[in-house]
Amino acid sequence: MSTFLDETPRRRRVTVIVSVAIAVAAAAVLITWTLSRSAGDPPRGSAASASPAPPSPVQQVPAGPLQLVKGKRTVEGISVGYPHTMQGAAIAGAEYLTQILSTLDPQRGRQIASVIADPSFDGAEDEMAQGRLNIRRSLGLPTTGPVPSGASITFGPAAYQLRDASPDTVTVVILAYLTTNSGGQVTPTLGAYPIELHWDGTDWKALRPGASRFADYASLVAQPNTADAAARGWQVLTP
């Protein structure tokens, strides 16, 4: 069952000690649509005794740093209109994940889904809205009414990889800090977050998770801008 960031918790490498509630919340945020296995544990009900290896990169294309530029236009506060290139897909993936993973508001979730979801992704708006409620619950926040003052979640992309690329589809994996603030406790969590994209003829759109659902990206997590990160295939994203 996929509900835009709602179930199947998974491990992440963290740079600070994370409380159980925050760790569960961070995992929940990435489960469906975008990150169905960003950093580690097998899916619920999996009989596998070991996590599968992440898919192999098709090529290191584009190679080198990318700047997080805006697309041709803005819709509902989301930058869209990226070029039909792997560079365009990588930047679109970073933008879409930042939007998805920087809100606890169900209505905002619906807006995001209405803009970035591929037409083939039935029920995307409902799933995104439900995901906001699930992550609020994981953080110990009320699931009705406005987001409590001071509570937040933010996504800070630092690097990218491309997987399973074809001319019109690609999985973009973003190395990023996911930072939660609940009750004054600010917790940054480092992880690798995938989003599957499809070129619909005019722009890159987010697909319902397919292969990325079962891929293990935990082995890719590394401190950004280090030799270790470069050795694991990360290419830098710059503001």
H-assigned helices in the chain: 20-29, 86-100, 106-116, 124-138, 227-231
| Series of mean pLDDT values for 10-residue runs along the chain (239 residues) | 38 34 40 38 32 46 85 98 96 98 97 98 96 93 94 97 94 97 91 97 94 86 97 96
- pLDDT at position 117: 98
- pLDDT at position 166: 93
**Structural domain boundaries in the chain:** 20-238
Pairing assessment for the beta strands 78-80 and 152-163 based on DSSP bridges? unpaired
Is-contact 198 210, C-beta < 8 A? no
- pLDDT at position 14: 34
- Reference 153, options 71, 238, 30, 8; nearest CA is 30
Say how far apart CA 41 and CA 140 lie, in whole Å.
23
- pLDDT at position 54: 55
- Reference 116, options 26, 6, 40, 34; nearest CA is 34
Beta bridge pairs of residue 160: 174, 235
- pLDDT at position 208: 93
- pLDDT at position 8: 34
- Reference 59, options 173, 159, 167, 163; nearest CA is 163
- Reference 83, options 204, 195, 180; nearest CA is 204
Q: For residue 192, what is the DSSP state?
A: E
Question: Burial level of 231, CB count in 10 A (0-12/13-18/19+)?
Answer: exposed
- pLDDT at position 62: 67
